[in-house]
Amino acid sequence: MDHLQQFIYTSVIADELPPGTVGQIVRRARRKNRQLGLSGLLIFDGERFCQYLEGPPAGMTLMRDLICQDPRHSAVREIYAGPAAQPGRCFKDWSIAYADVAQDQLSPLLRAATAGQFLDGLMALLPSLDIAPG
């Protein structure tokens, strides 16, 4: 049995992308994540992304490579990629949930240096988010 993996990163949306790009990213991610057995949450503040993904190693490796090579993302900063600390999924019902946030709401996640700090900040932020499950 494969062990659950996590991938946590932040990035900046590439300059001069047309409106609707984020919606396209979310729709494609939902389809791809379902195929790969991944789940997670994507947060966007109009400029920056923060994403938490969880799933099997093979799917996670592929998705991580796709994200890092995607020209719609710049300044990708990996916070954590590796085995999950907890035994189960945090977001098992969401292939990828999505939320828009104000820039100041994202600050604690952007300062996270470890997966634990990111998850603590994310869990603290969750009740205030208007999440579109997917």
CATH, residue 117: 3.30.70.100
The answer to whether residue 133 sits within a structural domain is no
The structure's pTM equals 0.90
The answer to whether residue 95 sits within a structural domain is yes
The answer to whether residue 113 sits within a structural domain is yes
CA distance 61 to 46: 27
- Backbone torsion region of residue 56, taken as left when φ is above 0, otherwise alpha when ψ lies between -120 and 50, otherwise beta: beta
What is the residue type of 134?
G
Confidence class for position 43, pLDDT limits 50, 70, 90 = very high
- SS3 category, 134: coil
CA-wise closest residue to 17 among 69, 64, 73: 73
Share of the chain above pLDDT 90, in %: 48
CA distance 59 to 37: 7
Confidence class for position 88, pLDDT limits 50, 70, 90 = confident
Q: How many domains does the chain have?
A: 1
Print the domain residue range for 75: 5-128
The answer to whether residue 80 sits within a structural domain is yes
Check residues 134 and 21 and name the one with the higher pLDDT: 21
Over residues 48-64, mean pLDDT: 94
The answer to whether residue 50 sits within a structural domain is yes
Helix axes 57-69 and 21-36, enclosed angle (nearest 10): 160
